[in-house]
A and B are shown apart, each in its own frame.
Chain A
């Protein structure tokens, strides 16, 4: 099944995230990724939801029924600029240090903190880039990793 990306403009009101996520789970659908943040318009937030479902039309309609949901656009994957942020803390020691830093810089990750036995990298990119970076770091021992959820914008809208 292919992924579908919904870009949802909502009123910035309390509980709106709960309303959206509960509407989706109530209808029995899974979310691969969800992010929410402010937009350039005051009082409006944007949610980006990535899901794999056939019944996306039904979910869109159910979400549209929410009073705080203003507009839902399904993004065309071919026209969409998509990005995600990752923070990854990896173990380092004298032997691995050079290799870790080299691999990170080849991946375009920025080192944001380096301690005696760990390094923290930040990487922004497509989900695939982030997955690739994770697997590159895995052999060195990932201590902790967080990803910020995918955000997307359609280039021709």
Chain B
């Protein structure tokens, strides 16, 4: 039988279908045009973003909500350079992403041709791996490899750059074969000896803390984590990327530690005699100055990426492996052991009562973000997927929203990319049209990618966006207040430009506004009722509010600033 002859472009689309890709996000252009032709006839849904950065974050939101591969397509040159931010973002937060970019014809590469950029070079440090295709026949196999690399081990972005002539070249469709990746063999099963050593340490510990992050979510290990924590009574802190890996509200859940973590979570680590660190990387936003971090604790560090172990903090017991397998191993090794953590658990319980998160919402005063968030959560009956931008509002959402399920909290943790929320929410809603998807954004962040509101309305993706409008780059303002004598250099936006109601309306969405306490219920109920269009809520909030607790960058986690009063003693 003669093999079916296809163009390179058809091989790309056929390849994506073969890999069960159902949705792609992108923006067309000259070099990638051949691929858009067969895409038109494919069952794959294409969402036309208004900017490639938006397309990239949409693919990330899709991937983070589902735990599956997100796919983004862009053209050569500026299309590809616009993708660099989402690629770097996905690399930092270990999000499985496949980016397909058009390139100028192979004969023109290196000649500074129109819309030529050295995409493979530019994206090298922003991807887990990348490819330049040199013959159309490579396409099916490379796409299979790319998906495998993106979704296995520590997930991450992979880019495939395809010159236009290769997209037009004719080659046979050959079903991709076995992968030949001699340099890529992630270790998923932990070394049993290490697991035994870890369990021996845990048995001896009186003050253990499970310090867990995004790795739990990637590995879908939340049920195993729950069993480990509850069976042996070990308190859990969930990092910014790990929120939802263990349910907030559970008596063992201490929630987020670190720079803007709550007092108990941060202090529990400082007082612990053992850190059971799983799927975390001792990020500086958690550790502050590492020399003062958890000085009394031994460390068990389990991660699928060996390079994370010992990078910041030496581990007494290093374990390379997938979080789920590691935790299962630990549960088995601990058997029917009873840990003596009773005092520890009750000490932390008292601490939580003594040092709660606090804020003051005055009856007639300006709205405070934490209060609005708590009210919003009361009004949303169903489990929402919550997406945040970067800044004060992000920290408040992480602090005050109750996360009980994995993959319901999407944010840009590692890179801190403003503009992430709106497009990422679109991506999540595309994956789960029936779920409530809330983008809880800052005004500064929103303005970085707000054109994607058009994408949401024209593609019929009815997300809900709350813009916490403090008229400022609030987080920048907060730092200027504390560290730069209140010299507010270039951090002021405005409350009233743009007019968010008109902006929403002009982009095909519904705009609503809340200014005071008495607006909240009415406006949010209206927002929750509208499901045929995106809704944007302009939530005007106090421009001077600050996020606490706070540990300044490079400081010690033993010195937590709890409120504005504490600042005076700084």
Contacts and interface: CB of A to CB of B under 8 A. Distances in A.
Interface of A: 10-11, 14-15, 18-19, 22, 26, 57-58, 61-62, 64-71
Contact of A61 (B120, B132, B306): B306
A70 B120 CA distance: 21
30 contacts: A11-B182, A11-B183, A14-B132, A15-B120, A15-B132, A18-B121, A22-B124, A26-B125, A57-B310, A58-B307, A58-B310, A58-B311, A61-B306, A61-B307, A64-B306, A64-B307, A65-B128, A65-B307, A66-B129, A66-B183, A67-B128, A67-B129, A67-B149, A67-B181, A67-B183, A67-B184, A68-B183, A70-B182, A70-B183, A71-B183
Contacts of B124: 15, 18-19, 22
B116 interface: no
A67 B545 CA distance: 47
Nearest to A19: B124
Contacts of A70: 182-183
Contacts of B307: 58, 61-62, 64-65
A61 B306 CA distance: 7
Q: Which secondary structure dominates chain A's binding surface? A: mixed
A103 B120 CA distance: 49
Contacts of A68: 183
Contacts of B128: 65, 67
B273 interface: no
Given A10-B183, A15-B120, A57-B310, 13 more contacts: A11-B182, A14-B132, A19-B124, A22-B124, A22-B125, A58-B311, A61-B306, A61-B307, A64-B307, A66-B129, A67-B128, A67-B149, A69-B183
Nearest to A55: B311
Contacts, number: 39
Interface string B292-328: 0000000000000111001100000000000000000
Contacts of B120: 15
Nearest to B134: A14
A69 B307 CA distance: 14
A11 B179 CA distance: 14
A29 B422 CA distance: 38
A54 B128 CA distance: 25
A65 B305 contact: yes
Interface in B105-158: 120-121, 124-125, 128-129, 132, 149
A56 to B, nearest CB: 12
Interface string B167-194: 0000000000000011110000000000
A27 to B, nearest CB: 10
A22 B118 CA distance: 15
Nearest to B132: A14
Which 6 A-B pairs have CB atoms at the shortest separation, nearest pair first?
Answer: A61-B307, A70-B183, A67-B129, A67-B184, A69-B183, A70-B182
A64 B308 CA distance: 12
A58 B306 CA distance: 9
A47 B124 CA distance: 19
B318 to A, nearest CB: 11
B121 to A, nearest CB: 7
A15 B129 CA distance: 11
A67 B129 CA distance: 7
A61 B281 CA distance: 14
A11 B180 CA distance: 11
Nearest to B181: A67
A39 to B, nearest CB: 13
A135 B436 CA distance: 75
A62 B184 CA distance: 13
Contacts of B132: 14-15
B529 to A, nearest CB: 48
A151 to B, nearest CB: 21
B462 to A, nearest CB: 40
A114 to B, nearest CB: 40
Contacts of A69: 183
A43 to B, nearest CB: 9
Contacts of A62: 307
A57 B314 CA distance: 12
A64 B309 CA distance: 14
Contacts of B182: 11, 70
Interface string B88-114: 000000000000000000000000000
Nearest to A69: B183
Nearest to A10: B183
Contacts of B183: 10-11, 66-71
Contacts of B305: 65
A18 B183 CA distance: 16
Q: Which of B132, B182, B305, B306 has the most CB of A within 10 A?
A: B182
A73 to B, nearest CB: 14
A63 B434 CA distance: 43
A61 B318 CA distance: 14
B205 to A, nearest CB: 27
A14 B121 CA distance: 11
Contacts of A57: 310
A15 B120 CA distance: 9
A66 B183 CA distance: 7
Nearest to B156: A65
Interface string B230-272: 0000000000000000000000000000000000000000000
